[in-house]
Chain A
Amino acid sequence: MTATSQPLLRVANLTKRYSVRKPFAARLEFIALQNVCLEIRARTTLALVGSSGSGKSTLALCIAALERPTSGSVFFNEQELTTLPENQLRQIRPQIQLVFQDPARSLNPRWSALDLLAEPLLIQNRLTAAEREKKVLQLLDLVALPRNSANKPAHQFSGGQKQRLAIARALALQPQLLILDEALSALDCSIQAQIANLLLDLQSQLSLTYLFITHDLAMAAYLADQVAVMHRGQLIESGAPQQVFRDPQHEATRALLTGAPPFAPNPQTPALVNA
Chain B
Amino acid sequence: MAPLLQVENLRVAYASARGALLPALAGVNLALSPGEILGVLGESGSGKSTLAAALLNLLPPNGVIQSGSVVFENKNLLRASPRELQSIRGARLSSIFQEPSLALHPTLRVSQQVSDILAAHSSLTRAALREKTVDVLASTFGSEAPRIARSYPHELSGGQRQRVLIAQAIACQPALLIADEPTASLDPATQREILQLFRQIRDQLGLAILFITHNPLLLNAFADRILVLYAGRVIEIGPTEQILASPQHPYTAALLHSLPLSLIAAANAQTSRAGNISSAERALRLPVIPGEPPDLSLAVPGCRFEPRCSDKMSICTTAEPELISIGQSHSASCFKYSATR
Q: Which among B190, B264, B276, B278 has the greatest number of chain A C-beta atoms within 10 A?
A: B276
Classify chain B's interface size: 35 or more
Known A190-B258, A265-B257, A266-B245: A273·B285 in contact at CB below 8 Å: yes
Q: State how many residues of chain A have any CB contact under 8 Å with chain B.
A: 51
Q: Are A51 and B262 in contact (CB under 8 A)?
A: no
Q: Are A189 and B286 in contact (CB under 8 A)?
A: no
Q: Are B187 and A259 in contact (CB under 8 A)?
A: yes
A216-B188, A218-B260, A258-B189 given; name 10 further pairs at CB < 8 Å.
A193-B259, A200-B282, A242-B277, A256-B189, A259-B192, A263-B220, A266-B245, A267-B262, A268-B246, A272-B287
Q: Interface with B: A69-77, A115-123, A133-141, A219-227, which one?
A: A219-227
Which residues of A91-124 have CB atoms within 8 Å of chain B's CB atoms? none
Q: Are A219 and B285 in contact (CB under 8 A)?
A: no
Q: Would you call B85 an interface residue if the criterion is a C-beta within 8 Å of the partner chain's C-beta atoms?
A: no
Q: Are A218 and B285 in contact (CB under 8 A)?
A: no
Minimum CB–CB distance for B150 against chain A, Å: 17
Q: Are A272 and B263 in contact (CB under 8 A)?
A: yes
A264, B263: Cα distance in complex, Å? 9
Closest to B275 in A: A242
A196, B220: Cα distance in complex, Å? 23
Which residues of B253-278 have CB atoms within 8 Å of chain A's CB atoms? 253-269, 274-278
Option from B44, B218, B283 in Cβ contact (under 8 Å) with A261: B218
Q: Are A246 and B256 in contact (CB under 8 A)?
A: no
16 contacts between A and B (CB under 8 A): A1-B279, A51-B187, A189-B43, A189-B255, A190-B255, A193-B260, A246-B274, A258-B189, A261-B218, A261-B221, A261-B222, A263-B221, A265-B256, A265-B265, A267-B262, A267-B269
A residues in contact (CB < 8 Å) with B:
1, 51-52, 158-161, 188-194, 196-197, 200-201, 215-219, 221-223, 225, 241-242, 245-246, 255-256, 258-275
Q: Would you call B214 an interface residue if the criterion is a C-beta within 8 Å of the partner chain's C-beta atoms?
A: yes
Minimum CB–CB distance for A117 against chain B, Å: 20
Q: Are A221 and B255 in contact (CB under 8 A)?
A: no
Q: Are A265 and B259 in contact (CB under 8 A)?
A: yes
Minimum CB–CB distance for B276 against chain A, Å: 4
Q: Are B217 and A261 in contact (CB under 8 A)?
A: yes
Option from B220, B269, B279, B284 in Cβ contact (under 8 Å) with A274: B284
Minimum CB–CB distance for B18 against chain A, Å: 16
B276 — which chain A residues lie within 8 A by C-beta? 221, 241-242, 245-246
Q: Are A265 and B245 in contact (CB under 8 A)?
A: yes
Q: Are B217 and A275 in contact (CB under 8 A)?
A: no
Minimum CB–CB distance for A4 against chain B, Å: 13
Option from B192, B257, B265, B274 in Cβ contact (under 8 Å) with A258: B192
Q: Would you call B191 an interface residue if the criterion is a C-beta within 8 Å of the partner chain's C-beta atoms?
A: yes
A241 — which chain B residues lie within 8 A by C-beta? 276-277
A197 — which chain B residues lie within 8 A by C-beta? 285-286, 288
Which residues of B272-317 have CB atoms within 8 Å of chain A's CB atoms? 274-279, 281-289, 292-293
Q: Would you call B244 an interface residue if the criterion is a C-beta within 8 Å of the partner chain's C-beta atoms?
A: yes
